[in-house]
């Protein structure tokens, strides 16, 4: 019976489970998204989000704490150099799990787990792109209309001159 046992053991002993989660966390930090099973993705989210929160404060103590979990100097340096500046203003929810169907070999539920701030498709809609362009083109009064009207006449005159030259 597993009364009160809240840890998903993933069918492994504790040392194997810790090594698996550490390797998956390193891969997630270095590649920004990985494909895995849904159960492993959920366990990885619980494992990696406190580390991402710790990386917001770049101190020797937080670096050593994160290194004790990840066991990879490259992953720790990537986390503190690239990832933590992007997640600095986010209060939590650094990862996103998207279910991707079933694996052909054993029909396991698969998922994509990714760092939220590194997906250009979703972040470009929120921060930039069309919304900033709309803010820049707001008009005050009638000044832009007067400026736009001579440009339109100038382009029509230029088009007429090119036709007459032909």
Residues 54 and 36 in one domain: yes
Q: Tell me, what DSSP letter sits at residue 141?
A: T
Q: Are residues 143 and 65 part of one domain?
A: no
Answer yes or no: do 57 and 108 share one domain.
Answer: yes
Residues 67 and 45 both lie in one domain: yes
Domain that holds residue 143: 131-165
Render pLDDT for 105-148 as a digit per residue (tens, 0 to 9): 999 999 999 999 998 887 665 544 454 555 566 666 666 555 55
- Indicate whether 3 belongs to any domain: no
The reply to whether 8 falls in a domain is no
Q: Is residue 49 part of a domain?
A: yes
Kindly report, residue by residue over 140-153, the tens digit of the pLDDT. 666 655 555 555 55
Where helices occur in the chain by DSSP H, the ranges are: 14-31, 38-54, 60-70, 73-78, 84-86, 120-126, 130-136, 143-165
Print burial letters for 56-83: b (CB count within 10 Å at least 16), e (below 16): eeeeeebbeebbebbebeebbebbbeeb
Are 118 and 135 part of one and the same domain?
no
């Amino acid at each position: 019976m597993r009364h009160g046992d809240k840890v998903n053991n993933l069918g492994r002993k504790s040392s194997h489970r810790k090594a698996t989660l550490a390797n998956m966390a390193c891969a997630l930090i270095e590649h920004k998204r990985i494909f895995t099973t849904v159960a492993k993705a959920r366990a990885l989210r619980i494992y990696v989000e406190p580390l991402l929160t710790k990386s917001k404060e770049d101190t020797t103590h937080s670096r050593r704490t994160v290194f004790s979990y990840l066991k990879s100097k490259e992953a720790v340096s990537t986390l503190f150099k690239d990832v933590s500046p992007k997640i600095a203003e986010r209060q939590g929810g650094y990862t996103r799990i998207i279910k991707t169907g079933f694996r052909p070999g054993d029909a396991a539920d698969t998922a994509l787990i990714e760092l939220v701030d590194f997906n250009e498709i979703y972040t470009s809609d929120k921060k930039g792109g069309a919304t900033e362009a709309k803010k820049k083109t707001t008009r005050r009064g009638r000044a832009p209309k007067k400026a736009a009207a001579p440009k339109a006449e100038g382009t029509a005159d230029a088009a007429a001159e090119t036709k007459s030259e032909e």
